[in-house]
Structure 1
Amino acid sequence: MTPLLRHHSIILLIMRRLRAPLILLISILAISVLGLTLAPGVDDEGKVHYLSFFHALYFMSYTATTIGFGEIPHAFSDQQRLWVTLCIYLSVIGWAYSIGTVFALLADRSLQLAIRTHRFLRAVKRLREPFYLVCGYGETGRLICGALDQLGYRAVVVECDEVKAGEIDLHSYRADVPTMCADARNPELLQFAGLTHPYCVGVIALTNDDSANLAIGIAARLLASKIPALCRAETPETAANMASFGTRHIINPFEKFAEYLSLALHAPAAWHLLTWLTGLPGTTVERERDPPSGNWIVCGHGRFGRVLVQAMEQESAVSLTIIDRESSDDPHHRWVQGDGTGAAALEQAGVREAAGIIAGTGNDVDNLSIAVTARELNPALFVILRQNHYANRSLFEAYDSDVDVVPSEIIAHECLAILTTPLLVPFLNEVKRRDEPWCAALLDRLTGKFGWQVPSVWSERISFMQAPALHHKLMHGSTIALEEILRAPSNRNDELACEVLYLHRDDDDHLLLPDPETEIRAGDELLLIGRQEARREFDLTLSNEHALTYVLTGRDLPGGWLWEKFSRATAADPAPHER
Structure 2
Amino acid sequence: MLALTHSDDVNLAIVMAVALLRDDVPVIACANDRMTGNAMHDFGAEAVVNPYERYGNYLVMRLRRPDTYRLVTWLTAKPGEPLPPETEEHEDGHWVITSDDRFGHEIAQDLEDAGLNWTLTEAADGPPDVTDAVGFIAGSTNDALNLALAGHARLENPDIFVSIRQRSPRSKPLLAAMDPDSVFIPAQLTVAEALARVVTPDFWDFVRHLWTLDDEASDALLRRIVARVGRGSPDTDRLVLDAAQAPAVTRWLRQGRTLRLGDLFRHPDDREIKVQALPVTVIRNGVDAFVPDLDLELCVGDTIVAVGRPNAFDIMSQALYYEQTVEYLATGVQVPDTWVGRVLTRRRRAGDSAQD
Question: What's the TM-score once normalised by structure 2's chain length?
Answer: 0.86
Say if 1:388 and 1:288 are closer, same or farther in 2 by CA, change over 3 A.
farther
Per the alignment, residue 209 of structure 2 pairs with 430
Matches of 1:389 and 1:268, distance apart in 2: 26
The match for 1:210 among 1, 5, 8 is 8
Matches of 2:303 and 2:73, distance apart in 1: 23
Per the alignment, residue 339 of structure 1 pairs with 126
Task: Classify the secondary structure of the residue corresponding to 2:278.
Answer: strand
Q: CA deviation at 1:518?
A: 1.3
The match for 2:105 among 289, 306, 316 is 306
Q: Percent identity?
A: 30
Matches of 1:232 and 1:490, distance apart in 2: 48
1:457 partner amino acid? T
The alignment status of 1:549 with 2:327, answered yes or no, reads yes
Matches of 1:533 and 1:222, distance apart in 2: 45
Matches of 1:224 and 1:536, distance apart in 2: 39
Per the alignment, residue 72 of structure 2 pairs with 274
CA RMSD of aligned residues (A): 2.7
The match for 2:308 among 527, 530, 533 is 530
Matches of 1:240 and 1:447, distance apart in 2: 39
Q: Which has the larger radius of gyration?
A: 1
Task: Classify the secondary structure of the residue corresponding to 2:84.
Answer: coil
Q: CA deviation at 1:468?
A: 2.3
The 5-angstrom pairing of residues 363-442 of structure 1 reads: 363-442=142-221
8 Å CA contact 1:300, 1:339 repeated in 2: no
Per the alignment, residue 96 of structure 2 pairs with 297
2:117 partner amino acid? S
2:329 partner amino acid? V
Task: Classify the secondary structure of the residue corresponding to 1:272.
Answer: helix
Relative contact order: is structure 1 or structure 2 higher (C-alpha 8 Å, sep ≥ 6)? Answer: 2
Per the alignment, residue 339 of structure 2 pairs with 564
Matches of 1:567 and 1:471, distance apart in 2: 19
Question: What's the TM-score once normalised by structure 1's chain length?
Answer: 0.55
| Structure 1 segments unaligned to the other structure (5+ residues) | 1-202, 327-337, 575-579
Task: Classify the secondary structure of the residue corresponding to 1:379.
Answer: coil
The alignment status of 1:466 with 2:253, answered yes or no, reads no
The match for 1:539 among 310, 317, 322 is 317
1:430 partner amino acid? H
Question: How far does the alpha carbon of each residue in 1:170-217 deviate from its partner, in whole angstroms, 9 at most, with x for none?
Answer: xxxxxxxxxxxxxxxxxxxxxxxxxxxxxxxxx333322334433444
Greater shift, 366-375 or 525-534, is seen at 525-534
Per the alignment, residue 502 of structure 1 pairs with 281
The alignment status of 1:445 with 2:224, answered yes or no, reads yes
Matches of 2:122 and 2:317, distance apart in 1: 54
Matches of 2:185 and 2:67, distance apart in 1: 21
Say if 1:476 and 1:292 are closer, same or farther in 2 by CA, change over 3 A.
same
Matches of 2:332 and 2:161, distance apart in 1: 55
Per the alignment, residue 250 of structure 1 pairs with 48
Matches of 1:226 and 1:551, distance apart in 2: 43
Say if 1:542 and 1:570 are closer, same or farther in 2 by CA, change over 3 A.
closer
Q: CA deviation at 1:225?
A: 5.2
8 Å CA contact 2:8, 2:36 repeated in 1: yes
Task: Classify the secondary structure of the residue corresponding to 1:213.
Answer: helix
Matches of 1:323 and 1:453, distance apart in 2: 40
Q: CA deviation at 1:418?
A: 1.7
Task: Classify the secondary structure of the residue corresponding to 1:494.
Answer: strand
Matches of 1:377 and 1:391, distance apart in 2: 26
Task: Classify the secondary structure of the residue corresponding to 1:368.
Answer: helix
Q: CA deviation at 1:428?
A: 3.1
8 Å CA contact 2:234, 2:308 repeated in 1: yes
Question: How far does the alpha carbon of each residue in 1:420-470 deviate from its partner, in whole angstroms, 9 at most, with x for none?
Answer: 332233333333333322222222333354344221123323222332221
Question: How far does the alpha carbon of each residue in 1:216-271 deviate from its partner, in whole angstroms, 9 at most, with x for none?
Answer: 44555567655643222223343233212211011111111111122233222112
Greater shift, 352-361 or 414-423, is seen at 414-423
Task: Classify the secondary structure of the residue corresponding to 1:511.
Answer: strand
Task: Classify the secondary structure of the residue corresponding to 2:95.
Answer: strand
